[in-house]
Structure 1
Amino acid sequence: MSALPTPDRPAAPLTVAKLRHDAEQFEYLLARGLLGEDYRAVAASYRQLARQLKAEGISKRQQWRATERRAIGSLYNRMLYRRAAPAIAQVLGQNWCGSAVEQTYLAQRPSIAVIDDFLSAPALESLRAYCLESMIWNSLRYSHGRLGALYHQGLRCPLLDQLAASLREALPVLIGQRHRLTQLWAYKYPARMPGDDVHADFAAINVNFWITPDQANLDPASGGMHIYDIAAPPDWQFEEYNRRPDKIRRYLSAMGAQARYIPYRQNRAIIFDSDLFHGTARCHFRDDYASRRINITLLYGQRHADMALPAPEQQHSHWRSVALRRLRKV
């Protein structure tokens, strides 16, 4: 158990979303005999504090009170339990062909390929259990109560490492030796969310997939992803193409951008050019712990490093790096 937060180690902000989520997770683990009974009182303390913050009209507060430090200071936002997720015999599903996915991706503008039955059944089951049981949802900076888990802050297990390596083998042209894994993250959503800010990412290739069962999605017309047919301008910096939704939307409007909507489906992966602007659609999922929408994203390569690489014209003449063409509607 970690020590109380101190001025040398600032406490994470208290958020209503995190407190409610963790209270539910404590109870989920208790029901499975994975935590001691002492944590039942901890869950109650989390719920009480969440109600107190909401009553004060506060969704997020950085400064802790002394009573809060004494009650949960040594527990809050700590990895108190993590489920094992070992490598397995076959991590990828058997119903899709890597070469066909690459052909689709390279032939389409914008560059997008959708894969159903992405993971094998044992891999999906193991990864879903890992995400439900592991207390790794410790990135709290996101809007609308969305929680994040990052590779370098706990979202790491042999199964995910196996998946990252297997994708490089299955997609040798798109990823292969050309692009290494640069980031891996997961997001867990509240039952209702109006939609995520449109953005682009810093990588070359995005692999995004969903693991929550379809039955949890109360509105099949929502919960998926919008991907626009416009790429981030090569001269935009990270803060512009990733964290300036106001500027991005003005740009998309000026360019006459059109969005392709990818409907939500469990075990569906979307592989797309990281330069394309994209965002999560509004969500309406069942309001219980196991039904929270979870997506996992693997990022391969670096945006600017990829721009500098020569395109492999001899093998795939239709491949064109974003940096090697003029900014245009893709």
Structure 2
Amino acid sequence: RGRLLATDSFSVAVRAQPGNLDALYALGSSHTAICRGITVQERHYQLMEAHRAMLMAAQTTHRLPEAYAAGVLTPMQAVSTVDSWTRSHVTHVLADFSLPLERTTSWKLAHDCDQLQFLLVRGILDARVFMPVIEEMQRAIQEVREREKGSQRLDSLQALPSGPEYMHLRAVYNRLVYVRPASVIHGAAVNMGQDWTSVQAKYLSMRHGIVHVDDFLELRAADELLAFVQESTFWHNIRNGYLGAFPIDGSNTPLALQIADEVRGVLPDVLKDYELTYAGAYKHIVNGTGLALHVDGHAVSINIWLTPNECNLAPGTGGMVVYNVAHEDVMTQEEFDHYPQRGPVKIPYRRNRAVIFYSDLYHQSDPYSFKDEYQCQRVNFSLLFGERKWKKRLTNQNGNFLYANAKELNARLGNLPRDPFASYIA
């Protein structure tokens, strides 16, 4: 029965709300409820089925032309086992999902160019097919960089260069060239040698929990998750100096779902019965930038840092800043500025360190400086559990009310000055 539920879960989600993109995300979160009471082997089978359907959706939205797909020497995971009804309806579900296939930035193109070269070196791509793409990208970087002069924001999008001289670039840009099959691993992915009882007790002792755990994953799991985000070409979402990879892009790997499943087992009183609602990553490309002040809008957030420590040019920095202020506590910037004992707590960057915290705490990236190399780009993988059980509104300068979400919070509070009196965790 567990296998039948696993196989059908994606179709059920789509049929329930055929016009709702959230139905696709439901697959990634439904594994928890579906897997209760079944064996470990059946649970792992279900995780593979979940990813297979999500990957099929990603391939639908970011389809690579066949002429270039032939140049991928390491085949991606097959998705032919997804039922025909699901396959025929995915396009309908994603009809309103607009991909930035015609917009770009110079640093996004530079990232994509470096990534394709990285995949060539690893023997994943055929140079005869992808070298023309790389050469056109290199020319496009210079053209777009000229257009960007005078722009003050790193997410100021420019038109993707066009014309016959960019034929290969336009066929491949923001397409799903390759996704590394980061499958469920045998044994534990989470480090079971940690004192999880103490970690849970510390989290629960706080009004709004925030803890960090070093050596969070077993080394082979951390290495595999890093390889997954470095090799997979799902970095389609352009932000202010960093890129996002979301479940609909293919980030919902079975390994991430396995990690979420195991964390639930070691922190049962923290994660309770919250479903996994998001598994994705951010890659920070331009030094000094990062996520502005925001809340995640879920119940519990887990951020895992993956890039090697030797890439960090300023040890003791580059992590995240968390304020002891929840969204339920403040409604305006003035209230935030005058909130007593708001902190913040500064958690320095360290590879394989996980920060586990109450999702509605205000937090932001700490300024960072990493080596200017593809394999040194700062990557964090996030697992978000549950949803906010309440809605509170912010008032903007015009007196309009806005529901709080990450985008609005960035616009409303993103320009807050950084507190120079941050407390540090070693």
Q: TM-score, normalised by structure 2?
A: 0.64
- Deviations 1:72-124 (CA, angstroms, capped at 9, x unpaired): 22210111011111111210013313222110001135421110100001101
Aligned pair partner of 2:180 in 83, 98, 108: 83
Using the TM superposition, give the Cα deviation of residue 233 of structure 1 relative to its aligned residue in structure 2, in angstroms: 2.5
- Cα contact 1:191–1:286 (8 A) shared by 2: no
- The 1:17/1:65 distance shift into structure 2, 3 A limit, reads closer
Q: Which residue of 1 aligns with 2:256?
A: 160
Partners of 1:2 and 1:293 lie apart in 2 by 27
- Name the amino acid aligned to 1:275: D
More helix as a share of residues = 2
Partners of 1:192 and 1:9 lie apart in 2 by 28
- Cα contact 1:193–1:282 (8 A) shared by 2: yes
Using the TM superposition, give the Cα deviation of residue 300 of structure 1 relative to its aligned residue in structure 2, in angstroms: 0.5
226-235 or 117-126: which moved more?
Answer: 226-235
- Unaligned regions of 5+ residues in structure 2, if any? 1-62, 67-96, 393-426
- Cα contact 2:304–2:382 (8 A) shared by 1: yes
Count matched residues.
291
- Cα contact 2:179–2:231 (8 A) shared by 1: yes
- Deviations 1:130-161 (CA, angstroms, capped at 9, x unpaired): 11111111111x11x20000122210221111
Q: Which residue of 2 aligns with 1:317?
A: none
- Deviations 1:41-87 (CA, angstroms, capped at 9, x unpaired): 21121121111111222564354453176342221011101111111
222-231 or 151-160: which moved more?
Answer: 151-160
- Deviations 1:17-41 (CA, angstroms, capped at 9, x unpaired): 2200010001001011110112122
Partners of 1:153 and 1:284 lie apart in 2 by 27
- Name the amino acid aligned to 2:197: S
SS at match of 1:299: strand
SS at match of 2:148: coil
1:283 aligns with 2:368: yes
113-122 or 183-192: which moved more?
Answer: 183-192
Using the TM superposition, give the Cα deviation of residue 179 of structure 1 relative to its aligned residue in structure 2, in angstroms: 0.5
- The 1:125/1:64 distance shift into structure 2, 3 A limit, reads closer
Q: Which residue of 2 aligns with 1:42?
A: 133
Q: Which residue of 2 aligns with 1:147?
A: 243
- Name the amino acid aligned to 2:350: R
Relative contact order higher in (CA < 8 Å, ≥ 6 apart): 1
Partners of 1:116 and 1:73 lie apart in 2 by 42
- Cα contact 1:201–1:275 (8 A) shared by 2: yes
1:123 aligns with 2:221: yes
- Cα contact 2:113–2:134 (8 A) shared by 1: yes
1:212 aligns with 2:310: no
Q: Which residue of 1 aligns with 2:90?
A: none
Using the TM superposition, give the Cα deviation of residue 306 of structure 1 relative to its aligned residue in structure 2, in angstroms: 11
Q: TM-score, normalised by structure 1?
A: 0.82
Partners of 2:289 and 2:223 lie apart in 1 by 28
- The 1:118/1:228 distance shift into structure 2, 3 A limit, reads same
- The 1:124/1:65 distance shift into structure 2, 3 A limit, reads closer
Q: Which residue of 1 aligns with 2:400?
A: none
- Name the amino acid aligned to 1:254: H
Aligned sequence identity (%): 31
- The 1:147/1:166 distance shift into structure 2, 3 A limit, reads same
- Cα contact 1:191–1:285 (8 A) shared by 2: no
- Deviations 1:204-255 (CA, angstroms, capped at 9, x unpaired): 101111010110000013201100011112686xxxxxxxxxx54x432121
Using the TM superposition, give the Cα deviation of residue 3 of structure 1 relative to its aligned residue in structure 2, in angstroms: 5.5
Partners of 1:198 and 1:66 lie apart in 2 by 36
Q: Which residue of 2 aligns with 1:66?
A: 162
